[in-house]
Amino acid sequence: MSLSPSLYAGLLDPPVISYSVIDCEKSYLVQVFKDGRVEYRGGEGVTIQGKHSSRISQDTVAALMKSFSGTKT
């Protein structure tokens, strides 16, 4: 068995934030990585379908992680 390059990269660099919705009407996944990559996968029932990616600053990633962890500044 061989792993595809994108799957293998995901094993070495897991997302630091991952949010998904999967229900009867819609499905999507948003993942944020430490290096600032943001990946979105939209399935059925959402306006934007397919795989899309973007970038945010590492400072923004750190701020998001802090806000999701419940740490107060």
Tens-digit pLDDT profile for residues 51-73: 999 999 999 999 999 998 875 55
pLDDT tens, position by position, 1-25: 454 555 555 567 899 999 999 999 9
Task: Supply the pLDDT for residue 7.
Answer: 52
Q: Give me the numbers of helices (H) and strands (E) for the chain, helices first please.
A: 2, 4
Record the pTM. Answer: 0.75
pLDDT tens, position by position, 30-39: 999 999 999 9
Which residues, 6 or more positions from 56, have their beta carbon under 8 angstroms from its beta carbon? 32, 36, 38
Task: Supply the pLDDT for residue 1.
Answer: 47
Sheet holding 27-32, edge to edge: 17-22, 27-32, 37-42, 50-55
Cα(18)–Cα(41) distance, rounded to whole angstroms? Answer: 11
